[in-house]
């Protein structure tokens, strides 16, 4: 029998605005409008200042470990590609997108301060709490997307993760489930080149992350993750496909974290400073600011106003987070059982636990008493 080609594929790379200011107007057609781009730049400036203040809160002992978003803020453009009714299932470096989708800024600070109320998402905000375990939340996104299909809501689930997460089994299980069930899910990988201290080329043999989705029958694309126009373009197309017929898309956003992995890390120990310098020149905020300035849509006065507004708002957010009332001890008991068991009710009322010695009615002691009767 003659040989034949069983399968061929290609991965497209999308870039609309590069680091040198070149702009592909044809590809940008129908994408971000000028007023959206200006509002987005203001938001990115706000989130960059938020990031800097969060870092200082950690360093001054007012907050726990914190993962900076610096360098990856173009992800915010994804929030403009979904509706308020769609679901966002984040990892832990997606603040700009989550805030645009309606999550109060205080919640992220509360989370890293160790206050569980930071994970109590307000009613009507379709965002899941940020996920620290690598890759596990993608399974939740696939399930949420499937639920939307079963309920015929027309809504989509969009989940974020890093390049390291695609080396986890959960990624492959979530991709397989979503594509087989045609669950309207968009998988967005923020390939920031490092899985903590492990470079991408040492954790996978594939030339791209995007191609991993081909094995599951997903649409796959790679974009310049520091280009807000390209991120929006790819995400909007993916969301529209998912909403129309349940097509699953894997988007690989090439980006870079300009800070350490977290405040518990020192990237100088494993990262070439020349690499950091090169990626700093590709900063998504710098790129968008330069482009809008060239178009006459941004100037020094608008920059100063945006910076002042960011400082004022973040100061209020920090004040609110640090000034939140202490939680009630009732919270320990009230959110697990519909009807509180007698043993837990006794603990709640007395604020004391009841040991075996103080609770002779427990089964183990009843058996002992029966044996000696």
Report which DSSP code applies to 283: -
pLDDT for the residue numbered 354: 56
Tell which residue, 198, 265, 197, 172, has the closest CA to residue 189: 172
Q: Check residue 52 and give its pLDDT.
A: 98
d(CA 362, CA 260): 52
Paired tokens of 51:
């990031």
Give me the active site residues, please: 257, 261, 270
- Report the distance separating Cα 248 and Cα 138, nearest Å: 13
Q: Which domains, ranges and CATH numbers included, belong to the chain? A: 12-322 (3.40.50.970), 329-371 (no CATH)
Torsion of CA 261, 262, 265, 269, to 10 degrees: 30
Q: Cα separations (Å) of 330 from 326, 335, 345?
A: 12, 9, 10
Q: Are strands 157-162 and 185-191 parallel, antiparallel or unpaired?
A: parallel
Dist CA 299 CA 21 (whole Å): 16
Q: Could you list the pLDDT tens digit for every one of the 373 residues in the chain?
A: 789 999 999 999 999 999 999 999 999 999 999 999 999 999 999 999 999 999 999 999 999 999 999 999 999 999 999 999 999 999 999 999 999 999 999 999 999 999 999 999 999 999 999 999 999 999 999 999 999 999 999 999 999 999 999 999 999 999 999 999 999 999 999 999 999 999 999 999 999 999 999 999 999 999 999 999 999 999 999 999 999 999 999 999 999 999 999 999 999 999 999 999 999 999 999 999 999 999 999 999 999 999 999 999 999 999 999 999 998 888 888 888 999 998 888 888 887 765 544 554 555 656 666 677 6
Q: Calculate helix-pair angle for 34-59, 300-322, nearest 10 degrees.
A: 50
């Amino acid at each position: 029998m003659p040989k034949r080609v069983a399968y061929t594929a290609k991965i497209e790379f999308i870039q609309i605005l590069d680091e040198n200011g070149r702009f592909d107007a044809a590809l940008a057609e129908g994408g971000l409008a000028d007023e959206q781009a200006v509002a987005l730049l203001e938001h990115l400036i706000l989130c960059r200042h938020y990031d800097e203040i969060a870092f200082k809160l950690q360093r001054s002992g007012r907050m726990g470990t914190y993962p900076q978003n610096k360098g990856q803020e173009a992800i915010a453009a994804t929030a403009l590609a979904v509706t308020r009714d769609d679901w966002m299932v984040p990892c832990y470096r997606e603040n700009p997108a989550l805030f645009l989708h309606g999550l109060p800024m205080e919640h992220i600070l509360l989370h890293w301060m160790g206050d569980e109320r930071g994970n109590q998402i307000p009613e009507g905000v379709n965002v899941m709490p940020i996920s620290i375990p690598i890759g596990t939340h993608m399974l939740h996104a696939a399930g949420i997307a499937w639920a939307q299909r079963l309920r015929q809501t027309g809504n989509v689930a969009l989940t974020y993760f890093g390049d390291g997460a695609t080396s986890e089994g959960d990624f492959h299980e979530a991709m397989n489930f979503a594509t087989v069930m045609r669950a309207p899910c968009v998988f967005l990988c923020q390939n920031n080149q490092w899985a903590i201290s492990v470079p991408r080329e040492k954790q996978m043999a594939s030339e791209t992350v995007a191609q991993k989705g081909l094995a599951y029958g997903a649409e796959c694309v790679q974009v310049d993750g520091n280009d807000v126009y390209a991120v929006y373009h790819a995400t909007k197309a993916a969301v529209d496909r998912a909403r129309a017929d349940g097509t699953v898309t894997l988007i690989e956003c090439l980006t870079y974290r300009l800070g350490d992995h977290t405040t518990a890390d020192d990237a100088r120990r494993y990262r070439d400073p020349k690499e950091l310098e090169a990626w700093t020149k590709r900063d998504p905020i710098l790129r968008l600011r330069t482009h809008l300035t060239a178009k006459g849509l941004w100037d020094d006065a608008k920059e100063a106003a945006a910076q002042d507004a960011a400082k004022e708002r973040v100061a209020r957010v920090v004040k609110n987070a640090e000034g939140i009332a202490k939680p009630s001890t009732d919270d320990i008991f009230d959110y697990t059982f519909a009807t509180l068991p007698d043993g837990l009710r006794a603990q709640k009322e007395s604020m004391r636990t009841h040991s075996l010695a103080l609770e002779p009615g427990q089964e183990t002691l009843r058996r002992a008493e029966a044996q000696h009767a």
